[in-house]
Amino acid sequence: MREKKPLNLAVGRNVKLIREQAGMTQEQLAEILDLGDKHLSAIERGVAGLSLPVLVKLCDALSVTADSVLFGCERAEDDDRALAVQLLTERLQRLPGKQFDAVQKVLDALLAAMDSQQDIK
């Protein structure tokens, strides 16, 4: 078994966190990055390192910075909210037309209900 280097462990944890925040499975992200499922799993577990070309693809695909992948982020609440909005936007953009329309209707109804609750208070 290969030795896990501290840097690989830290980067792997960050990759996993970013992937989960994006709502993606290992299989989905591996396909986007042109990696095998097992290779991505090895990266997330710190068994394998992250190459520069894969880092660039990861940052581009999930709209994150290399700093967040390499060093992690201690984000303020506003930054977390901005990241969540950005990740949701990215996910919505990848939806096929009918699924997007359905999500839009649900969100519109939910936001309208929340607005009416605010009016009552």
Give domain status of residue 19, yes or no: yes
Find where tokens 């690989």 sit. 8
Asked if 21 and 83 count as a contact pair (C-beta separation under 8 A), the reply is yes
In the 8-state DSSP scheme, what is residue 49?
P
pLDDT at 1: 57
Give domain status of residue 18, yes or no: yes
CATH number at residue 54: 1.10.260.40
Give domain status of residue 110, yes or no: no
Two tokens, residue 114? 């929340």
Give domain status of residue 119, yes or no: no
Range of the domain at 49: 6-74
Give domain status of residue 93, yes or no: no
Number of domains in the chain: 1
pLDDT single digits (tens) 49-105 = 999 999 999 999 988 889 889 988 654 455 677 778 888 888 898 899 999 999 999
Give domain status of residue 100, yes or no: no
Q: What is the pTM of this model?
A: 0.60
For residues 17 and 42, give the distance between their C-alpha atoms in angstroms, rounded to a whole number: 15
Give domain status of residue 25, yes or no: yes
Give domain status of residue 33, yes or no: yes
